[in-house]
Amino acid sequence: MKNPVELMNPEVVAIKQQEIFKFNALAKANSGVVNMTVGEPNFPTPDHIKLAAIRAIMNDDTKYTVPEGDHDLLRAASNYLHEKYGLNYDPESEMITTLGVTEGVFSTLNALLDEGDEVLIPAPCYTIYGPDTNFDHSKPVYLDTSKTEFKVMPEQLDELLSTHPRIKVFLFNYPNNPTGVTYNKQELENLAAVLSKYDVFVISDEIYSELTYNSKHYSFAKILPKQTILLNGVSKSHAMTGWRIGIACAPKEIISQINKIHELATTAVSTISQAAATEAYTNGFDDPMKMRDEYKQRRDVLLSGLEKLDFYCPIPDGAFYLFAKIPEGLNQDDVTFAKDLLKKEGLAILPGSFFGEGGSGHLRLSYAASMESIQNALVKLRDYVTNYASS
Ligand code: PLP
């Protein structure tokens, strides 16, 4: 039987999902702990969306449905992606609904890869990417972004693609978890110019596309539509993590392959969640903005507090994470730092090395937390640095 932990590449053993759960569990178990580990909005799902789900239940919209997802939902999502990002996907043949982006990544990798193929992953990265790749008997190749402000540089990309002929997929995520870094149109075009020279697909995980603070999100699918599988969803934009809705978009032949794996794995996604997501995509255009304004204020407070304590963060223009470098002169081991901080001060944040290559010496702080928690966190961090962290 496949053991998901053994399947992790040795290079990513540091990324231990269980360790993250432990941090979360400890934080939750102790009411005095300030928890800044969480990767989900701390807002409720908007009422109009909840009401749509209630209506679906009362209308007995509770039977099996087609694997690709309800076509009303796909049409609404297509229109949303068009209005927001200028994308043109045919809801009848180029889109499916998945069980969150999580299943979208899994099914897409399974559809595209053969045993022994390689997946190029900029790191640090979202923790499921490495294990997902190994599960498929393909192999992750990590591109360490830590020397370039956590951005992928075209030259690096070119070098790795030219020396690894088995790379079939570039697994890209922006706005990025864990760094909060995002890309502008020119930067994306520079990467696309390299990728277009190779026979590779791009899985573009744009789950945080609605959470950008200084500039509007630009979709990779707009630049390289034929090679790109776009993954998006409502988890972060509409505070709907528990509803498990993602949308995968790609040229027809690719999406039909992904749909086959998706059908085997899930049959289809919950009809009730699909009704809720249809409402989100139809009448929830402005929902993300209210949350975004609030996140921006929290980000600014956290960022300036961290800077005062000499924790440097790369430009965090998206998602709801800051990836702070532990200042010189303090204990540089991020795992010990985070564990000790939790024990001594009751502040839970995640060690950067949990997110793979390039993450060590950093800490990930999520500002999907109340302003009060953020203020408390800064006091706790200051006290810890003053009292304990000097090496
Ligand atoms: N992709 C990234 C980069 C994430 O950070 C997360 C959740 O934290 C997901 C995907 C999960 O998305 P979903 O809830 O749609 O499965």
Question: CA dihedral in degrees (49, 54, 58, 62; nearest 10)?
Answer: 80
Q: What is the CATH number of domain 62-283?
A: 3.40.640.10
Fold of the CATH domain 10-44+287-387: Aspartate Aminotransferase, domain 1 (3.90.1150)
The predicted structure's pLDDT at residue 352: 97
Domain positions in the chain: 10-44+287-387, 62-283
Helix (H) or strand (E) holding 86: none
CB 97 less than 6 A from any atom of ligand 1: no
ipTM: 0.99
Strand order in the sheet with 362-366: 321-325, 362-366, 350-351
- Atom of ligand 1 at shortest distance to CA of 99? 16
The predicted structure's pLDDT at residue 27: 65
CB 203 less than 6 A from any atom of ligand 1: no
Ligand 1 centroid distance, CA of 65 (Å): 24
CB 233 less than 6 A from any atom of ligand 1: yes
CA atoms of 94 and 332, how far apart (whole Å): 47
Residues of the chain with pLDDT under 50: 4-15
Helix (H) or strand (E) holding 95: strand 95-98
Per-residue pLDDT tens over the stretch 65-115: 999 999 999 999 999 999 999 999 999 999 999 999 999 999 999 999 999
CA atoms of 210 and 292, how far apart (whole Å): 8
Ligand 1 centroid distance, CA of 38 (Å): 12
Residue 2: HSE in the Cβ half-sphere, 13 Å Cα cutoff: 9
Three-state secondary-structure class, residue 233: strand
Fold match, 10-44+287-387 / 62-283: no
Ligand 1 centroid distance, CA of 107 (Å): 14
CB 363 less than 6 A from any atom of ligand 1: no
CA atoms of 30 and 338, how far apart (whole Å): 16
- Please choose from 206, 217, 235 the residue to mutate so as to test ligand 1's pocket, defined by most ligand atoms within 8 A of CB: 235
For residue 16 the two structure tokens come to: 């231990």
CB 39 less than 6 A from any atom of ligand 1: yes
The predicted structure's pLDDT at residue 134: 79
Ligand 1 centroid distance, CA of 86 (Å): 23
Give the pTM.
0.94
CA atoms of 61 and 39, how far apart (whole Å): 31
The predicted structure's pLDDT at residue 15: 44
Per-residue pLDDT tens over the stretch 129-141: 998 887 777 899 9
